[in-house]
Structure 1
Amino acid sequence: STDLVFTLRESPKPLKTYVFYCQSCGDIIVKDRKFLRVLPLPSENWSALVEEWCCHPNPFARSTLHPQRDDCFLGDTFFLLNSGNESHKSKENTRVICKRCKTMLGERVSPDTIKYYVTEVIIQPSEASFSPTPRSQFVQSMVAQCLVELSSAKSTFRFSVKGDNGKIYILIWLLNSDTLLVESLGSSYFQSVSPLFGDIFMPSSEQVGTWNAVKVLYQPCIKSRNKE
């Protein structure tokens, strides 16, 4: 059930036990972890604003935030965990790889800290069982929730998607965050009698699906289409 998928609004809670799964294959990444502290991290671009607040060099330039064994730090698009006994590190680099399906789950940012991407990991209470969600549906849901969260918290509606090399691949404008999609799931219809419009054939209520959606405008930043 998608209700068990923890979104950016439904973060892990302290003193509860959770299991981290690979979203692609369902393999257990972190088993039965109880957090004493679950804390939000500053914006990823917070250091760019320090100069506006300080009249001297950035006092936090060399400061880093690393979770302890029982901590979970929440970023805009990732979770930071103490690596503990988990071992998913690729020998070639700092990428964190699923042992079963070899999907990249995140990266090791320090010897004791792992960053898991929200688009690659599902978090569920330990008493719940893993329920697979189609990959495309899951990624779309997480990206949409991330855009809504960021636009609400930071009053911005323009975003860019960057690669590990800092290159911008796509520009996104959030146009609408309260769209409702209605889809007929079958060919079953019933007849409705309206005093104004006469007989109207409408889809049966049991055959209609509804989804919340966001409306975006995007511009790929590809050399062949957009050199700048």
Structure 2
Amino acid sequence: LKPNKNYIIYCQSCGDIVVKDRKFLRVLPLPSENWSDLVEEWCCHPDPFARSTLHPQHGDCFVGDNFFLLNSGDESHLPASPGCCSDAGHHVSHSGSNLKSKENTRVICKRCKTMLGETVSSDTIKYYVTEVIIQPAEGSFSPIPRSQFVQNMVAQCLLELSSAKSTFRFTIKGDNGKTYMLIWLLNSDTLLVESLGNSSSHSDFTLFGDILTPTSGPAGTWNAVKVLYQPCIQCRNKELADAWENDMGVHPLKFPSETCLELLLVLGLSTASLPPSLRYMNSFQLTAE
């Protein structure tokens, strides 16, 4: 994303336009979600940010680890179905920043009903990078297989965070607050070589090859990350999940709950493609290269 350029935001699942022809005057990175916990270490006087909030103004786009924030006041296209969020449909608390009902904070695609993000306040919307595609206004929407897109975006998040913050352990949480899995980044310099019908469809980084779709044709190569993971659904690995929750060296990542289940399926299929003797490492499940 670059300032002073026009962009269109599409629903990744169905291609419907979510935000039409938006020009961002400022594109700014957000600090870590837990930045306020360290303010006392930075300042020798009372917290100067105690009453401040990092909410985008008109024309702003704030970029987080796996999401971006937009000001809802200048949306050119807002979801309009009953299950969607718009300014008129928000239920705001007395403080004006917290929404009473969790269900009312969900931003839903009006065509396919997929969750795209959530409302952070009465004038701020968070969109998850796994749910939308941002393209220049002069471009056109190009569909990408869902499993491949989720792999690419999650792998990019893990890679960027590990590089910027030397963080290699992650908890994957849903918007319902539940922990779905623990991920330990093993390496990020794997190069995959496979017979592909269209190798150009694999962009940047992926967790593993798209094993859901048989391919043929000349060999293609792309970068991949390899991870260890532990599922945490149905109270599995609860003690380990609790320990990671309290570990400052573990970075939490939040996605829509449906996307967490998709990611868990992708990882499970990757593990199943390995020989049984290579599927585990120190009780963690291993993904195929």
Equivalence map 1:6-17=2 (5 Å)? 12-17=1-6
Match of 1:216 among 215, 227, 233: 227
The SS at the match of 1:116 is: strand
Q: 1:87 maps to which residue?
A: 78
Q: 2:127 maps to which residue?
A: 116
Q: 1:198 maps to which residue?
A: none
**CA displacement 1:167-219 (0-9 Å, x = unmatched):** 32211111111101111248xxxxxxxxxxxxxxxxxxx61011210000011
Q: 2:19 maps to which residue?
A: 30
| The 10-residue stretch of structure 1 (139-148 or 48-57) with the greater mean CA deviation from structure 2 | 48-57
Q: 1:9 maps to which residue?
A: none
The SS at the match of 2:238 is: coil
Equivalence map 1:178-197=2 (5 Å)? 178-185=189-196
Q: 2:188 maps to which residue?
A: 177
Whether 2:127 is the aligned partner of 1:136: answer: no
**CA displacement 1:150-172 (0-9 Å, x = unmatched):** 01110111111123344322111
Which blocks of at least 5 consecutive residues in structure 1 are unaligned? 1-11, 187-205
Greater share of helix residues, 1 or 2?
2
- Counterpart CA distance in 2 for 1:137 and 1:75 is 22
Q: Residues 165 and 58 (structure 1 numbering): CA distance in 2 closer, same or farther, change over 3 Å?
A: farther
- TM-score scaled by length of structure 1: 0.81
Greater share of strand residues, 1 or 2?
1
Q: Give, in angstroms, the shift of residue 133 of structure 1.
A: 0.2
- TM-score scaled by length of structure 2: 0.65
Bigger Rg, structure 1 or 2: 1
Aligned-residue identity in percent: 82
Q: Give, in angstroms, the shift of residue 69 of structure 1.
A: 1.6
The SS at the match of 2:36 is: helix
2:12 is aligned with what amino acid?
Q
1:67 is aligned with what amino acid?
P
Instruction: Indicate conservation of the 8 Å contact 2:179/2:233, yes or no.
Output: no
Equivalence map 1:135-174=2 (5 Å)? 135-174=146-185
Whether 2:138 is the aligned partner of 1:127: answer: yes
**CA displacement 1:117-138 (0-9 Å, x = unmatched):** 0000100001101000000000
1:17 is aligned with what amino acid?
N
| The 10-residue stretch of structure 1 (35-44 or 48-57) with the greater mean CA deviation from structure 2 | 48-57
- Counterpart CA distance in 1 for 2:50 and 2:220 is 50
Q: Give, in angstroms, the shift of residue 82 of structure 1.
A: 1.0
Q: Residues 35 and 184 (structure 1 numbering): CA distance in 2 closer, same or farther, change over 3 Å?
A: same
Which blocks of at least 5 consecutive residues in structure 2 are unaligned? 90-102, 198-216, 240-289
The SS at the match of 1:93 is: helix
